[in-house]
């Protein structure tokens, strides 16, 4: 049994000087159109209490191209500009649905430089990609082939802060479901061990940011000593960005391998619903929590379980996994972070993380069986106490 999914294949490419100049100009125009459309929408609402739709923004874009001030917008492909307006429309849709905050303006220095092309904006022939307004095909270094017989429906070109160029091709792919299994696993996320499994296995936290912290600090010191606006400062900035890119790439690779293994080996995967946004408020642990990338771990598990026919169960954040005895069900009154092994009144001795993973697994299997949610009495929320994981982390 196979399932057709939308899958993005991201590869590096090396543009010529002419291609790099044209793409950089396109990135700037995309950012300008997005910001100008956002400004017009904001002004129309606050001054006239009027909403502007995508169709009206698209018509305004046509008028902008006819002005002497913005005539250069007609020199780049119109497809990425229209896609920028669609992205803005989606951002407002998420805002009105209360899934996101109000759309923000794109910064030249901080925002991701990218342009999205739909079918009318590129040509795909014999495995070679040619973008609109760029006569020569891109020199793509294929890290893996596209699915047989599949052609990209959307192409996104981007440049990261380290100066590397990437192209992401969105294709329809047939993903075969994995063979059914009777195994289930509970996962307790942590800092010393990135993940503790209900089987008793502890997966060490690689701490990539900590390993490269000295290299990063040296690069940042060199950057701080360069004159603003100088060519040497730009070279130093790129060096800092390359260190960050190295950390990010290694972390992503590790998480991909870990989540793929967990999904392949287990039919049901149970995790906790951690509020990372609140956990990083603990300033002594914020850097370590960010380096662990728990949110990315969860997002990878979500889409891989959906792809391969597995079940992902998320246990409520208020479930006292660390305090609950896996033998008798007694909930301990307190469980400070420095307590790694504890003994229940029933005589059972628990490794804190392994016990938490096992209780999470048991709760998740109960959810899977009855279709309900793991949400015990909310007395702790009424008394102002924090969720179990957050309470432990903020106790240090």
Catalytic positions: 188, 272, 353
Per-residue CA distances from 207 to 71, 194, 211 (Å): 49, 9, 6
CB atoms closer than 10 angstroms to residue 198 = 23
For residue 179, with 0-12 CB atoms within 10 Å meaning exposed, 13-18 middle and 19 or more buried, which class applies? exposed
d(CA 132, CA 127): 16
CB atoms closer than 10 angstroms to residue 83 = 22
SS3 166: strand
CB atoms closer than 10 angstroms to residue 86 = 14
**354 contact partners, CB below 8 Å, separation of at least 6:** 188, 196, 198, 200, 202
**330 contact partners, CB below 8 Å, separation of at least 6:** 324, 344, 345, 346
**223 contact partners, CB below 8 Å, separation of at least 6:** 233, 236, 237, 239, 240
CB of 368 closer than 8 Å to CB of 313: yes
What stretches of the chain adopt beta strand conformation (E)?
2-13, 113-118, 122-125, 128-131, 140-141, 154-159, 165-176, 184-189, 193-197, 202-204, 268-272, 311-315, 341-343, 349-351
Q: What are phi and psi of 131, to 5 degrees?
A: -90, 155
């Amino acid at each position: 049994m196979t399932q057709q999914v939308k899958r993005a294949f991201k590869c590096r490419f090396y543009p010529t000087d002419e291609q790099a100049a044209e793409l950089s100009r396109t990135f700037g125009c995309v950012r300008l159109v997005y910001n100008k459309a956002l400004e017009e929408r904001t002004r129309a609402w606050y001054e006239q209490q009027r909403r502007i739709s995508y169709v009206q923004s698209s018509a305004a874009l046509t008028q902008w191209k006819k002005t002497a001030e913005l005539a250069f917008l007609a020199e780049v492909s119109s497809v990425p500009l229209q896609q920028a307006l669609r992205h803005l429309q989606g951002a407002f849709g998420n805002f009105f649905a209360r899934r996101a905050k109000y759309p923000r303006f794109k910064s030249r220095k901080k925002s991701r430089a990218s342009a999205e092309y739909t079918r009318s904006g590129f040509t795909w022939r014999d495995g070679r990609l040619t973008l609109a307004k760029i006569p020569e095909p891109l020199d793509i270094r294929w890290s893996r082939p596209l699915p047989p017989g599949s052609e990209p429906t959307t192409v996104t070109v981007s440049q990261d802060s380290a100066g590397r160029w990437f192209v992401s091709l969105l294709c329809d792919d047939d993903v075969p479901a994995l063979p059914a299994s009777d195994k289930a696993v509970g996962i307790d996320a942590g800092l010393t061990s990135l993940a503790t499994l209900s089987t008793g296995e502890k997966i060490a936290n690689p701490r990539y940011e900590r390993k490269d912290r000295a290299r990063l600090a040296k690069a940042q010191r060199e950057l701080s000593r360069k004159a603003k606006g100088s060519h040497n400062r730009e070279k130093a900035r790129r060096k800092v960005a390359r260190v960050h890119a190295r950390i990010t790439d290694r972390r992503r690779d590790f998480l991909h391998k870990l989540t793929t293994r967990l999904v392949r080996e287990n039919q049901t995967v149970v995790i906790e619903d951690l509020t990372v946004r609140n956990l990083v408020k603990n300033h002594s642990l914020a850097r370590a929590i960010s380096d662990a990338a728990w949110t990315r771990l969860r997002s990878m598990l979500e889409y891989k379980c959906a792809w391969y026919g597995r079940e992902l169960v998320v246990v409520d954040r208020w479930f006292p996994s660390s305090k609950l005895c896996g033998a008798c069900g007694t909930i301990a009154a307190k469980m400070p972070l420095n307590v790694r092994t504890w003994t229940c009144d029933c005589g059972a001795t628990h490794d804190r993380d392994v016990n938490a993973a096992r209780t999470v697994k048991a709760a998740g299997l109960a959810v899977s069986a009855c279709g309900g949610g793991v949400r015990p009495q909310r007395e702790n929320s009424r008394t102002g106490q924090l969720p179990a994981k957050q309470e432990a982390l903020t106790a240090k």
